[in-house]
Structure 1
């Protein structure tokens, strides 16, 4: 009997000890903040998505370690909240909205991430951020440009980059400047855009800006993302022959559009592009001379080094995590900004409580040396009201600053030089 009792006591003590170990998480677990990323790692925008992922990894590296020589908030300390480090969980949405939504659910429900950063494609950001809003968890958006995303009245959604509404207004401002100061005679506008949340909203904003400023839309052409042929679309553009084309073509679609225009030996006087393949340094390199004289909104390129001196040291880390020949671009750098702003808010709030971190994000103006505007501040709905971009033109493979005039370094080539140039 005594032996049986001893065994019961021993088993009871062992069970209590085991349950105790199960109930108390390890110190390592207590000091980890898991952040999910959601980008197109496969599909037609894979290269852009992979660079966005590497950009977040770069920001996390800066936050988790001590870089006393980097002039970026949090770089001089190790981690957050007296010892927390960030751990990143990556997901691939393949450029598909339904996949993005399900991956957002998985990241929150199974991976237990604290927040999500993404998603490059506005069409994916829309449903993925809905998941976060429903769960009252934070979604940090770097570069998805659809202005509609910050007009939904969401409380937990924050976007770093300018919107297609802002870019549309910049485009018509440039057109008026070219007419008034350079007598270019720009009157008519054509639009070509992917038939998605991003493309359709960019086109709507473009048409509104054109009409409100006395110009005329003469052709409006949507196409399916991931197209294999744009012959009929470009033929329609050529037939209508607008003075200016607004383009909303991502990744490989941009390459195909440019090559098809060359094949048909047609160019408008001016081609202005939203946050698209135009901004992608890899696509620019692949197109070579054919990329020249296109224009577009640009939040960062290496040619901006004098305007953004803090970027260089961070870019060195970034280029170790991706193709070392490819620097930050307008899109990828915004994802690093998203991570750094969230980290600053957590540190300032002194807690991981969602409500306090959300309120802290809204209540402050954040130092952001990786942003062209130098600071980040959010209006209701989550738009960064200090987001800024320049109008650039590709000349000899370099992004030359064209507008506004106080930041310009080069005169624009208008009309665009013919494909049959010597």
Structure 2
């Protein structure tokens, strides 16, 4: 028998039974050394374990947990475990410890890579659908307020409108002109390089003029306006959201949609056809000059070929798409500005989203327009 600071443990091992007699207090003070002694009696040596608790004078939850853990290991080894001469109080304490032993939770099995990617795709689809719903609701609100201003022109804020027209249109002419001029040069150079293989360099006039008036002029202008003006709309309105100017406007009875959104949208609707016409003309000028300087195509030949190729429908297609693209860019930029919240990092995040959103919707709408105009013969 070994004495362990007031707790006595005696082990008797027969062929098929291990009997352990414990006497004295079995509390937190004796638990550590008592369990170290009990671990010396390895599970599996006998088919049956008997714990004799007749001599136990005191037991707390630590002692009960010690005995439960010891018996649990023997049961896992396939042995039969029994308590002998244990008082009802000690038995209830041990059973309570056993009832709270839920074990460590099993780690959930990680799904396969395909399942994780499908789940991520589904979550992204739900987020896009939610955002599209919010954008559609905002677009409906803006259209309703726009219709009200058309019916009552005195509601239009002319000073804000003229200010936005100067920022969006006049200040954008240099960059749009430069980009359009370079695009015209590139189109002629690349088109002539490919058509030279077939001895049809003169058809580069058809390629450049039709593609510029129908598609490239309006599409490139919309992309540049989205990156320049659409991002500015988001940053301006987003900053006002952070400084609580938008909330202050609502408090004093001023509608933020009428004051902030509609002047920007009306300005873009009015200016986009003019910017598209300007960009298309500058691109054609660049194409004419490059064709004359590098391809030896005289200016009058280029213009004569263009007059015989380009129809009024080609011009109207670009002009019809321009105000629609302008409205989409303005609504997307203002919508993302209204979604800014939290800190300054949200402004940058929403500005990036507004540019990507605007360009994406412009390209999608351009594809729909192409199918529509082809169906009606334009």
The TM-score bracket by the shorter chain reads: under 0.3
Between structure 1 and structure 2, the one with the greater Rg is: 2
TM-score after normalising by structure 1 = 0.21
- The two structures have a TM-score, normalised by structure 2, of 0.23
Q: Point out the structure with the larger strand share.
A: 1
Give the number of the structure whose residues are more often helix, by fraction: 2
